[in-house]
Structure formats: C-alpha cells, structure tokens
Structure 1
Amino acid sequence: MTNSELAARVYRTAHLTGTFLLRSGATSDEYFDKYLFESDPALLAEIGAEVSALLPAGADGLAGLELGGVPVAVAASQASGLPALFVRKQAKPYGTARLAEGGEVAGRRLVVIEDVVTSGGQILASTAELRALGAEVDTVVCVIDRESGGAANLAAAGLDLRPVFTMSQLVAAAA
C-alpha cells in the first residue's frame, strides 16, 4: 500500500460530518476522530510501520504520550523492536508514582510518539519533564501534523517533528 492510499484510509476512517462542539467552544460541521484509526488493528499496524520508518538511528525507546500516543507507540514498538514507555500527563500520586511507565527514563534516548500535533503544548510539557528525569529527547514522530504551528513550537525547543502525514496530505489523498 502506498503512503497516499494509507492517507486516504486514515481520512475515510476518522473524518466525521455532523455538528460538533470543539474544545475552543466553537461548533464545526466536520470532526477528525483520531481514536477511530487508533482502534482499527489493521490500520494501526500499518501506521505503526510508517512511524517506525521515521525513527532516528540510535533511539533507545519510544515515549508514547497519554492517551492517543500510547497505541501508536505500541504499534511502532512492534514494528521497530524498540521498547515503548507510556508517559502520563502527570505522575500519579499512588503506586509507582512515575511519570513514565514501562521502563527507566534516565540515560535513554527517547523518541516522543504522538497521534496528532496541533500546537505541540502537551509535547513540550512532557518533553521538559522527560528531560528533567534524564532522558535525551530531540525527535517527535506523530501520525498527523495539523499544520497549526506545532512544528515551529517544537523546533524552538530543539525538537524535530516527523509526521507520517500532514492534514493537507490527508485531505488531498481523500479527494
């Protein structure tokens, strides 16, 4: 399957029409439900292979961000053989009380994995915490870059964003 065919499948699977209340409070007649492509096992496996192909040499692990980055990180882990860690938005106050579950962070070169990047705000916050815990993080791989300033915001923090698709590519492939 070509990248363009995969893009069309992702778009067809996740693009919804109707009336939707957005986080901003505005309403829209379109919505992109990323969980629909993340919950399709065959589609997620193909996406994991594409994410795996974008990983930099020398990575020690994949840091999937809660919630959407976790299934993508697991799929990319299966495709690449690199271990996946699961990064919370904040450390839980019980149990292990860790920010990242699934292995040690300190001294590892981690690639942050996210499903969709808009502004990159949560990526910046999580990366700062991972770095404070001793991880080396310089690359973010995502399934979709919404092309809403995230790449520039991440670059300002020394992070290279590598999207499988941009939203423009998804829309063009679906046409």
Structure 2
Amino acid sequence: MADTALAADIDALCRLTGEFTLRSGQVADTYFDKYLFEADPALLDRVATQMLDLLPQDTELLGGLEMGGIPIATMVSAKTGTSALFVRKKAKEYGTCKLAEGPDVAGRRVTIIEDVITTGGAVRDATNALREAGAIVEVVVCAIDRSPAGENPLADVGLEIRSVLTRAELDAASSA
C-alpha cells in the first residue's frame, strides 16, 4: 500500500508537465524530476525508509545506478548497514576502469537501487554488466515505477521490480 502523503509530496515537488524526451527515446507529457526529491534530505529519507521493507533479506550489496540511484542507495546503506556499490553507465576508461565502484560483486547478491523506471533500459544494462562480473541480480527496488500498470519491462532479464510508488499512485495524488 502506497504512502499517500509521500506520493502527494513527491508529486507536488517533482511533477513537471510539457514535452520531455525520456532515456528510451519516448516522448512524455509528464516528467518526474527525481533530483528534486533526492536533493531534499527529508524527502530522500522518507523514500529510503519506504525501501527498507522492499529489500530482499538476502541482499549483500546495494547497487545504486548512476546518477539518480546513488543518493538513494547511499541513504538506504546508512539505514541498513548494507554496503553500497556505485554502478556507472559505462566502465570508466582510466584508473581502475571499473563499471561498479565499491566491493567486489562476484558471487554476491546485489539488489539494484534506481530512482525511476519506465522501460528499464539503464537497469537492464547494469544487470547484464553486473551478472557478467559474477553478481547475482534478481531484484530492483525503485522510487518510482513509471512503466504501464501490470507490466514488467525487465521480465526479459528475469528481474523483479519492487517500487515505493507507481505512476498510478502519483497520478492519484495529483488529482486528489
């Protein structure tokens, strides 16, 4: 059950209307500027707190995706004591040349932490890369799931999506 007060607060702060091109290339008339809630310590804390019950109990690492998943993963890590991992969009080409900064992922259960999922492109890419590095990745926990109700855009890579809020819940808060 969604936290309706949280949905209303995120909707009021983050919902933008206009014409927006999403990472997937889709054009949307509504955009949720997640950086607005991520930059607000009290709101970020509320989102992270809601994520705690969504985490699989066997999570060994929290994989925050660049860039929006990183502040959320850091806050969840501080609340749980579970180490965070910072996952880049692509491996850096200098220094350690790592895709994922933090502890070694090989043989460990990584729960991906993301801000907003629409088609899941960034999560899919990160999942494939983490699995290539030996991680066990089965769940992504996100702040906002914008994908169509009843659809899992990440089913093709065997990921379960657990969300704090859905687009429908934010829409309900907007019209309330």
Report the TM-score, using the length of structure 2 for normalisation: 0.90
Change (3 A) 1:151 1:77: farther
Match in the other structure for 1:41: 41
Count, aligned residues: 172
Gaps of 5+ in 2: none
Aligned-pair identity (%): 48
For residue 103 of structure 1, report the CA deviation from its aligned partner: 1.3
Gaps of 5+ in 1: none
Aligned-partner Cα distance in 1 for 2:3–2:28: 31
Change (3 A) 1:74 1:154: same
Query: Are 2:65 and 2:89, in contact at CA under 8 Å, matched by a contact in 1?
Result: yes
Aligned-partner Cα distance in 2 for 1:26–1:121: 15
Aligned-partner Cα distance in 1 for 2:86–2:93: 16
Aligned-partner Cα distance in 2 for 1:46–1:114: 15
Helix, strand or coil for the counterpart of 1:152?
coil
Change (3 A) 1:131 1:21: closer
For residue 25 of structure 1, report the CA deviation from its aligned partner: 8.1
Report the TM-score, using the length of structure 1 for normalisation: 0.90
Aligned-partner Cα distance in 1 for 2:109–2:160: 14
Match in the other structure for 1:114: 114
2:142 is the counterpart of 1:152: no
Aligned-partner Cα distance in 1 for 2:45–2:153: 29
Q: Deviations over 1:7-55 (max 9, x none)?
A: 11111110134x4443448584x43211101110110011111112200
Helix, strand or coil for the counterpart of 2:152?
helix
Aligned-partner Cα distance in 2 for 1:44–1:27: 24
4+ residue stretches of structure 1 with deviation over 3 A?
Answer: 23-28, 148-151
Change (3 A) 1:156 1:22: closer
Question: What code does the residue aligned with 2:73 have?
Answer: A
